[in-house]
Structure 1
Amino acid sequence: MSDIVDGKRIGPASRLLHAAKSASGTLLGLLYPPTCIACQAATGVPHALCASCWSGIRFIERPYCERLGTPFAVDLGQPLLSPAAIADPPVFGRARAVTEYGETASALVHRLKYGDRLELARALGLMMVRAGAELLKEADVIVPVPLHRWRLWRRRFNQAMALATIVSDESGIPCDPFLLARVKSTRQQVGLTKAQRQENLQGAFRVPADAKARLKGKRVLLIDDVLTTGATANAASRALLRGGAASVDVLAFARVVTEA
């Protein structure tokens, strides 16, 4: 006699194995109850936000600037560009993000980047797939913002790469982290002005010679964890376009939104 589990027919041996796994999962749930991925409070399901942290996420939804993805306070009923996008157009085509960079978003990004919480990449990446659905429909390849080799060695992993892997797996769009290299070891961007950030990133990115054939004519979706002034996204996009990309859009988990 056989049973159907997850749409598949299984025999007695597989049924026993499935039951054992279920029991093991239940036991682990009792010993280590699921907690909020941001604040560690108890939750009903693993890898989720508690009600308090969920309410603290300021999701970015329309109306927003069609170029920068920054939210508008008032819906005027038609696609618009923000004054910032008109006065200083970005190098990339469009940017989208899941949420404004607030307390909860900051905690999530910090845990992923510095707390060795790689499991957070899946939760954040899934939200990014939804927020970037329109960009993903037009993308040919996903590229994470790279780290310089020395920073990658110190940090042990690239958070943008972790997010890009999830976005790629969920969307079916291939991820190629070798289309863009960070060839200049820049200082930390925190605390720098927009002009200082741009100067700091001058010449930081390059498309390797052996990657130009793969990049040529491709519509790139660039992935990062946080968009602040857009200096990193602009510098990376400029290198990709010079290297042969047809276009570059940007998708991040969070973006800093300043009051106009």
Structure 2
Amino acid sequence: MAAPSFLTPLIDMMFPPRCPLCGEPLAEQGGLCLDCWSQLAIPGEPACTLCQRPLPDRVAQAAPDGKPVCAPCMADPPRHEGIAAATLYNPVSRKLVLQFKHGRRIALAGLLGQMMAARLPRLEGEWLLVPVPLHRWRLWQRGYNQSALLASRLAKATGQRLVVDGLVRKRRTPSLGGLNRRARATALQGAIAPNPRRQGMLAGANVLLVDDVLTSGATTDACLRALRRARVARVRIVCFARVLDEALDDAKSVDTAVWHE
């Protein structure tokens, strides 16, 4: 909950606003300095309508309906209707999520959530915001589910309903870092399921699946399968950072293992 506006001068005096990445003084709380902001990589256009993979101009212009789809999505259509990522995965976004996820800087949820909301397409009708779940032991160790905090911010920004326990993680999964796509899928098999108590709410609903970072998509796929079992109508994915090797030359040079639960 944000502090009352009349307390802002007192808070700024006690805790001068600083960039959470480099410590540079800021005009107000909750932002980044200009230099750090300029180093974030924002997904560009043209891109695949379904997966956000960058496309050459000629491919995008050839799409008859103005909604280009990349070759991988045409060959293996995803189970969702699109991905909205606030940033591409690079050293700056990595540092932000590390501080938020493992550094207990939960106040960053406001900044990250605001950036995610800005990338969402116009939502028609009612949607449910469902975060990627944590296993109860992981939640107990960390103290919070970072995806749930982001989903809460998005719910406030969009006016849509938050269902924080729409999905449950039935068993604790090992770290997925270093595993290939097939091994990750095997590790997650049967781990994520719809919450039986929310079955009536999920059936026929439009769902925004919220995560902090989308890497290989193994966890997302497991969530999508669970949501389909709950008979949801539509699913879109929204995340803060997206790993796309094609869109970022140094994507492979940044360690992604830290993202995996």
TM-score normalized with structure 2 length: 0.85
The change in CA–CA distance for 1:149 and 1:27 in structure 2 (over 3 A counts) is closer
Q: Tell me, in whole angstroms, the C-alpha distance in 1 between the residues paired with 2:17 and 2:45.
A: 33
Q: Secondary structure at the match of 1:123?
A: helix
What does 1:1-260 align with in structure 2 at a 5 Å threshold?
A: 22=6, 25-72=8-55, 74=57, 76-77=60-61, 78-134=66-122, 136-259=123-246
Whether the aligned pair in 2 keeps the contact of 1:92 and 1:233 (CA below 8 Å) is: no
Report the alpha carbon displacement of residue 210 of structure 1 after superposing the two structures with TM. 2.4
Q: Secondary structure at the match of 2:246?
A: coil
- Say if 2:43 and 2:86, in contact at 8 Å, map to a contact too: yes
Once the two structures are TM-superposed, the CA of residue 69 in structure 1 deviates from its matched residue by 1.6
Identity %: 36
**Contact conserved, 2:53 with 2:246, CA < 8 A, in 1?**
no
Specify the SS of the correspondent of 1:106: helix
Unaligned runs of 5+ in 1: 1-17
Q: Which has the larger radius of gyration?
A: 1
Amino acid at match of 1:212: Q
Residues 198, 138 of structure 1: alpha-carbon distance in 2 compared, 3 angstrom cutoff: farther
Identify which range, 180-189 or 29-38, moves more after superposition: 29-38
Q: Which moved more, 1:82-91 or 1:167-176?
A: 82-91
Q: CA deviation at 1:139?
A: 4.9
Match of 2:252 in 1: none
- Alpha-carbon distance, 1:26 to partner: 2.9
Per-residue CA distance 1:141-182 (angstroms, 9 max, x = gap):
110000011111111100000000000011110011222111
8 Å contact 1:92–1:234 — kept in the other structure?
no
Distance in 2 between the 1:83 and 1:39 partners? 40
Q: Tell which deviates more after alignment, 74-83 or 158-167.
A: 74-83
State the alpha-carbon separation in 2 of the partners of residues 163 and 209 from structure 1: 23
Return the offset for 1:110. 0.7
Deviation readout 1:87-140 (Å, 9 max, x if unpaired): 332222211101100011101111110111111001110111110133x43552
Compute the RMSD of aligned alpha carbons.
1.9
The number of residues matched between the two structures is 239
Moved more, 207-216 or 120-129: 207-216
The one-letter amino acid of 1:89's match is: P
- Measure, in 2, the Cα distance between the counterparts of 1:211 and 1:26: 43
Displacement of 1:44? 2.0
Mapped partners of 2:13, 2:230: distance in 1:
53
* Residue 70 to residue 38, structure 1, CA distance change in 2 (3 Å): farther
Deviation at 1:247, TM superposition (A): 1.6
Seen in structure 2, the aligned counterparts of structure 1 residues 241 and 61 have a Cα distance that, compared at 3 Å, is same
Distance 1:74-1:56 versus aligned 2 partners, 3 A rule: farther
Q: Write the letter of the residue equivalent to 1:222.
A: L
